[in-house]
Structure formats: structure tokens, C-alpha cells
């Protein structure tokens, strides 16, 4: 059974509840969440749940009907996210583990690690103890293989995953391995499961060759009941009568498991099909089916591999597969997990994550690295002279390095990979409205958070090559929003053609490169100097009160804002009358101003919407309260409402931060 405790339960009441359960032969696991604490009571239940429900400090009791208790969705409603050395498996991300079937020698494992890390893997796999069908086949390098795997993982910033085949190997493996893998042959080796579970480390549990889903979950229960909280299920194909592939990959297990368990689910397409050319399409199919990640075999020279060479991808095949996953993931509402750069990021990113917020009363925005090692690097979408670049320089008073990228997703990827400490994303324009793409990006990318905000005035200028005059212009290039914001000025020249470009800076660069006096660009005044263009007319925006709000993003947990004055939250509501009213009423109840509310459709759920809310405090109230009691109390109430009646769902804090306005 699951016992939900009162939020403000006294410690002596908690201890009495635990003692009562243990006296009735139930083993108690305490799970402390951000908003509530629960007891998971596991064992043969010989007491009436009502006896527990009346105990002081108990909010409610939820009986678990499944034979697997701690693995069941009844035990934990929200999906579990397993964190391994900063890498997260689960949630809204797709995490890829890759490496050779077996560690064969130092050069092989180091080259494998380098290639998979470069292509986007977030963990390194490799076998040191190999359970083989033939006693004459390569059995692995044992302890030497574990040591080499650890060294390669450390060199390229990748946590390591390896299979344990006997509890006798625990003393050798314990201090080296980040994630233990239980192979298909050992899925029901219950003594091994108990001993590995007792280590408390994350475990990947592969499905047995002929195991049912319930048998698989019962094996996971052994691990959870023995002490580990972090179990990752791995579908690797089951044995059927079909011989065209090594096994039959049961992708239907993914949605079935999703309804039964909170545990993250990954897929091993390599062992499932056993033929390398069939691995990438099945990997993509697994992502489309909802898998939280993949574990794939990659070898620098598969034809030379000492085991499973036929199913191991060449590094270039793996790179292509990762690019395809990058394209597919947003289509199914996912983002691809990225590892931070192992050496602390690109050299130009610098090691200093301290940035001063110049708004009155604000403190410093601080990260984990020491100050004074170099300029902050902030990624943005666009070229030199883009308004985002201007926002970066004004926010950091010219002391930041702006890293240009092709689009918003690339800017986010630069942050996730460690190439940049921050990303500057436009979120709203006072005239053109919200930048919906970035609202979706913030929801999809669970490994980034908002850590700051800056608003700048947008002043457009008409730029053209030297010698151009208004009378010679025939075509005007710019971003569609910029063209719309200058509509009144452009209407004075009805003969001009309006041609849309990806960015204002891109328009300026193109006009400069062509040198055609009949072409002009609408861009910033700064772009004129950068691209050596003449300003034919400055301040051509229709409304001089033209402002864009940018948010600064960073990897989750890497940056802290000491005195935030804003918070952004995303949530959804039940499809019933008054649900949004009830949700928003929480902010009013706790004295928070709702300054922004945006809705976006939830992919795959017609006529259901996700809401983005930005809240702040009324004037005259200390800004530090936002990150303190008021915002915590508001979110705690939203979570409780979700648990009690499901009116509010999927609450997530996008960030608590300070704001800065510049002119």
C-alpha cells in the first residue's frame, strides 16, 4: 500500500506510523518529494488499510492491486527520472547510450568513446564480463576491461554502463561502474537482483528472452525492494519463431509499460535485430513509440570485433542515426539529451558563469565555476548584428562573448553541449506577440531552465549599400516580424517588394554581399556598421514602443539567481468547467501578479492545452519572496490540487529569475 503523509506531519507521528507498519511485517520505503512524503509499505498485507488511514499524520492510503508494488503506477503516479552523474534518463528527453559490445583493448574503447561522445551519446557502454553461449568464445577482459572502460568514460565525460553476470564480481565493479546492467539471461536470477539492488546504484534491467511484461516488472520489483530507487527497463527483443532477425523487437511493450509503471523505458535495437543495417530504423521506431532512450552497439571496426560485430554500427552510421533522431524527436514532443562538455565547454565559452544583473536591487547570477577565467559565452540565433546579440551585450555590459547559431534549437544545443554557458531566446515582442517556437522549446527541453530575462527596445533602420538612395530601392529584405513592424513606413513605397528572410542580420549580410543599390534590408543600426551598409532611414518602426523580451537559459542546476523577482511555470488542466479559473486563482491567493499567460496545444491530445504562466510580486514587496515562501506555497497547492482531483496537471517550474530592461 501507499501511505500519503500529511504535509506538516510531526516526526514522532511519522515514526509511530513506520513502527506500526513494521510490526505488521511490512517493509517501509520513505519517498520524500518536493511537495509530499509517502511511505511505500511492501509485503504481505495482513491489516485493514483503514487501520492505517486513521493514524495521526496520514492523509490517505492507496492500496496497490498489482503483484509488483514499488514498480507500479499506483505506487508512483509521476514518471521516474533516473540521474547518473548529471545525465538524466526519463521525462521528456531521449538519452542514447552507446559503445562496443565488449572492451577489447585500450585503443578500441578510447576510440569508441571518442566517436560516440562526438555524435551525441550521453553514456558509454561496454562489456567486461561477457556471458557467451559458447565457452570457447571471447569472455571479456574482466577487471582490466572495467578499468579501461572507466578511464575512457572519464576522458570523454561519459558515465559508464556495463553488465554484471555474477554477484562475485561486485567487489571488483562497485567503485568503477555508474550503471549496472542485468542482461536478458539473468533477468530472473533473483539472488543476483537482490545483491545488485542492495548496492543502491542505478540498474538497467533487460527483458528476458521469453519473459512476459509482468515477469519483467516482477524482476524490477526485486531490485526496488532490495534498495535501489533507480531502475531502467530495457526492451531488447524476445524470442519468437521468426528467424529473419536475431529476436523480435516488441515495441508494443513501450506503451503497455507506460500505463503500468513509472520506471523509464529504453530500447536495445542492436540485440533485437542483430543486423546493423536494421538497427537505425528500429531505433527511430522506438523513439516514435515513446522510448526514453536507446542503448546501441557501436564499434570503430565491426568486422574486427571479438563479439557481436554483425550488429555493431560503424561510427558514421551512428552519427547519421543521431542526426535522424534529432530530427524526429521534436515531432513526437521530445528533445535529445546532451552531455556537458567534459573539459568544461568550448575554450571560448570561458569558465566564468558569474554575470551581474544591473537591475535595481538585484544580485549576481552565479554558476558553479570560478570567476575570472574568461568571458561568459551566450549562444543566440542569427548573425552579427542580430537583436539577440545586442541583448547579450547590453545584458552583460559588453563583457560576454556572443556565439552565433543558425536557429533557436542550435542555440539551445550549444548550452546543452557546454559550448555556451547561456542561451538568449526571444520570447515575446510587444507588437508582434509571442514567439511560440521558444515556448515549445522550453517545454520540450527539460534540461534547461530560465535564469534571467532582459527587455530591449527594437529600433529598425533601412540599410543599403553605399551610394544607394530611397529612389533606387526596389526590394526590401528582412524577417517577417520586422517587415510587419515597419508597415507604415513601407506603405509609403508601394512599389517595393517585401522579401522575407530568416533573420534581420541575415538580411543585412545578404544585401551587403550582393552590393546591389536596388536592394535594402531592415535591421539594427549596429548591423550597418558590421556589414558596412549605409543607413537610409533610422527609426522606421511604426510604433516606437517596440520591445522584445528575451529569456536567458542555462543547463538545469548550473546557475543560481540569488534574488529572483519572477517565476515561470508550465501546467495543464483537466477538461472541465472552471479548471483554469481554479488554477489561476492559486496565484491570486498567494499574492502573485500574473503578468503573462499563454496556451499551446498538447501534441497528440486534441483540444487539450498546456499553459505558460509568468508571475511576479506586486510593487513594494521584496523580490526574494518569489523564490521563497509565496512561490513555493503556490506551487505546492497546485501539486496538491493535481493529486486530490486532477484539476491541475504536469506542474513544472521553468525558472525563477530576475529581469533587466535596457534602452
Rounded Cα–Cα distance for residues 237 and 247 (Å): 5
**Catalytic hit among 550, 571, 587, 611:** 550
Rounded Cα–Cα distance for residues 261 and 280 (Å): 27
Taking the alpha carbons at both ends of the chain, their separation in whole angstroms is: 59
Three-state SS sequence of 389-449: HHHHHHHCCCCEEEEEECCHHHHHHHHHHCCCCEEEEEEEECCCEECHHHHHHHHHCCCEE
Question: In the Cβ-directed half-sphere of 346, how many Cα atoms lie within 13 Å?
Answer: 20
Rounded Cα–Cα distance for residues 284 and 236 (Å): 14
**Catalytic hit among 548, 573, 614, 616:** 548
Closest CA to 39 of 22, 145, 543: 22
Rounded Cα–Cα distance for residues 11 and 37 (Å): 12
3-state secondary structure of 155: helix
Rounded Cα–Cα distance for residues 148 and 161 (Å): 13
Between the alpha carbon of residue 647 and those of residues 91, 282, 357, 574, 642, the distances in Å are 21, 38, 37, 5, 6
3-state secondary structure of 515: coil
Alpha carbon 511 to its chain's center? 38
DSSP assignment of 574-643: -SSTTHHHHHHHHHHHTT-EEEEEEEEEPTTSTT-EEEEEEEEPPTTS-GGGTTTHHHHHHHHHHHHHHH
> Is 550 labeled as catalytic in the residue annotation?
yes
Cell of residue 491, nine digits: 506603405
> Is 548 labeled as catalytic in the residue annotation?
yes
3-state secondary structure of 365: strand
> Which residues partner with 102 through β-bridges?
127
Cell of residue 518, nine digits: 536596388
Please identify every residue annotated as catalytic: 548, 550
Amino acid at each position: 500500500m501507499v501511505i500519503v503523509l500529511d504535509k506538516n506531519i510531526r516526526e514522532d507521528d511519522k515514526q509511530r506510523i513506520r513502527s506500526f507498519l513494521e510490526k505488521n511485517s511490512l517493509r517501509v520505503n520513505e519517498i520524500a518529494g518536493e511537495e509530499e512524503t509517502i511511505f511505500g509499505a511492501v509485503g504481505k498485507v495482513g491489516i485493514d488499510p483503514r487501520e492505517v488511514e486513521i493514524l495521526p499524520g496520514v492523509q490517505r492510503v492507496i492500496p496497490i492491486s498489482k503483484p509488483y508494488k514499488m514498480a507500479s503506477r499506483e505506487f508512483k503516479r509521476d514518471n521516474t527520472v533516473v540521474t547518473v552523474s548529471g545525465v538524466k534518463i526519463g521525462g521528456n528527453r531521449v538519452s542514447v547510450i552507446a559503445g562496443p559490445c565488449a572492451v577489447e583493448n585500450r585503443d578500441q574503447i578510447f576510440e569508441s568513446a571518442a566517436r560516440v561522445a562526438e555524435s551525441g551519446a550521453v553514456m558509454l557502454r561496454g562489456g567486461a564480463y561477457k556471458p557467451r553461449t559458447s565457452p570457447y568464445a571471447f569472455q571479456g577482459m574482466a577487471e582490466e576491461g572495467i578499468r579501461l572502460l572507466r578511464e575512457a568514460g572519464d576522458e570523454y565525460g561519459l558515465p559508464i554502463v556495463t553488465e554484471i553476470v555474477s554477484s562475485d564480481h561486485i567487489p571488483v565493479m562497485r567503485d568503477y561502474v555508474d550503471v549496472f546492467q542485468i542482461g536478458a539471461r539473468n533477468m530472473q536470477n533473483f539472488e543476483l537482483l537482490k545483491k545488485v539492488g542492495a548496492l543502491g546504484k542505478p540498474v538497467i534491467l533487460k527483458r528476458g528472452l521469453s519473459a512476459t511484461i509482468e515477469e519483467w516488472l516482477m524482476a524490477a520489483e526485486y531490485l526496488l525492494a532490495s534498495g535501489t530507487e533507480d531502475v531502467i527497463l530495457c526492451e531488447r527483443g524476445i524470442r519468437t519463431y521468426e528467424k529473419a532477425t536475431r529476436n523480435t523487437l516488441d515495441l508494443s511493450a513501450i506503451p503497455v509499460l507506460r500505463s503500468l509503471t513509472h520506471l523509464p523505458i529504453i530500447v536495445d535495437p542492436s540485440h533485437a535485430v542483430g543486423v546493423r543495417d536494421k538497427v537505425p530504423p528500429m531505433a527511430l521506431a522506438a523513439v516514435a513509440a515513446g522510448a526514453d532512450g536507446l542503448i546501441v552497439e557501436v564499434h570503430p571496426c565491426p568486422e574486427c570485433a571479438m563479439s557481436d560485430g554483425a550488429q555493431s554500427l560503424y561510427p558514421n552510421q551512428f552519427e547519421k542515426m543521431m542526426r535522424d533522431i534529432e530530427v524526429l524527436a521534436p515531432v513526437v514532443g521530445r528533445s535529445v539529451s546532451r552531455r556537458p562538455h567534459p573539459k568544461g565547454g568550448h575554450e571560448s565559452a570561458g569558465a566564468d558563469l558569474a554575470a551581474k544583473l544591473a537591475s535595481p536591487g538585484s544580485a549576481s547570477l552565479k554558476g558553479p565555476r570560478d570567476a575570472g577565467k574568461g568571458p561568459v559565452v551566450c549562444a543566440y540565433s542569427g548573425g552579427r548584428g542580430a537583436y539577440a546579440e545586442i541583448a547579450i551585450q547590453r545584458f552583460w555590459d559588453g563583457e560576454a562573448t556572443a556565439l552565433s547559431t543558425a536557429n533557436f534549437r542550435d542555440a539551445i544545443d550549444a548550452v546543452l553541449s557546454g559550448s555556451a554557458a547561456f542561451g538568449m531566446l526571444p520570447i515575446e515582442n510587444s507588437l508582434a506577440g509571442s514567439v511560440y517556437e521558444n515556448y515549445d522549446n522550453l517545454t520540450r527541453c527539460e534540461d534547461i531552465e530560465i535564469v534571467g530575462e532582459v527587455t530591449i527596445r527594437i529600433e529598425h533602420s533601412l540599410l543599403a549599400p553605399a551610394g544607394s538612395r530611397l529612389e533606387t530601392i526596389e526590394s526590401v529584405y528582412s524577417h517577417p516580424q520586422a517587415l510587419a513592424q515597419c508597415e507604415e513606413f513601407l506603405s509609403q513605397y508601394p512599389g517595393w517588394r517585401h522579401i522575407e528572410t530568416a533573420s534581420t542580420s541575415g538580411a543585412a549580410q545578404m544585401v551587403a554581399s550582393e552590393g546591389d543599390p536596388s536592394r535594402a534590408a531592415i535591421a539594427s543600426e549596429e548591423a550597418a556598421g558590421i556589414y558596412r551598409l549605409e543607413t537610409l532611414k533610422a527609426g522606421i518602426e511604426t510604433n516606437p514602443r517596440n520591445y522584445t523580451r528575451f529569456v536567458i537559459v542555462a543547463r538545469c542546476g548550473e546557475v543560481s539567481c540569488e534574488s529572483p523577482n519572477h517565476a515561470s511555470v508550465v501546467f495543464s488542466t483537466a477538461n472541465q468547467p472552471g479548471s483554469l479559473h481554479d488554477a489561476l486563482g492559486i496565484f491570486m491567493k498567494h499574492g502573485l501578479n500574473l503578468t503573462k499567460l499563454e496556451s499551446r496545444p498538447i501534441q497528440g491530445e486534441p483540444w487539450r492545452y498546456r499553459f505558460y504562466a509568468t508571475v511576479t510580486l506586486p510593487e513594494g514587496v521584496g523580490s526574494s519572496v518569489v523564490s521563497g515562501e509565496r512561490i513555493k506555497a503556490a506551487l505546492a497547492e497546485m501539486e496538491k490540487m493535481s493529486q486530490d482531483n486532477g484539476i491541475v496537471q504536469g506542474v513544472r517550474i521553468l525558472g525563477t529569475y530576475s529581469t533587466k530592461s535596457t534602452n
